[in-house]
Amino acid sequence: MNLDLRYSPEDQSQRMLNAIEPGSPLPIHWHRSTSETVVVLRGRLVWEYYSEPEHLCTETIEVSPNGPTVALNIPAGQWHTVRALESGSVILEMKEGSYAPLGPEDTLA
């Protein structure tokens, strides 16, 4: 579930609140041309980074508002996914450019 925080659809940025529950299916994906900044506002989540071209998990980072890591900047082209560890987890997500849905070439099956 998400809440769009832009002023209008013409706003050329992406700013949204995303609520993520444990067990939510989020595919391993990448954003080829933009970095992604996330701030955890509530709950606890784990980001997993994957290698290219093997797509093996290379790093996991736990992020929470009360932990040592509260925010991440995921570089453009970095394969990743996120898992919620607590019910009611909410993140603020920001990216450059207008919204573009992920295509099959942007996710791992």
The per-residue pLDDT for 109 is 67
Domain residue limits, the chain:
2-97
Fold of 2-97: Jelly Rolls (2.60.120)
- The backbone region for 55, taken as left when phi is positive above 0, alpha when psi lies in -120 to 50, beta otherwise, is left
State pLDDT tens for residues 59-98.
999 999 999 999 999 999 999 999 999 999 999 999 988 7
Do the beta carbons of residue 31 and residue 76 sit within 8 Å? yes
What radius of gyration, in Å, describes the C-alpha atoms of the chain? Answer: 14
Query: What pLDDT does 14 receive?
Result: 86
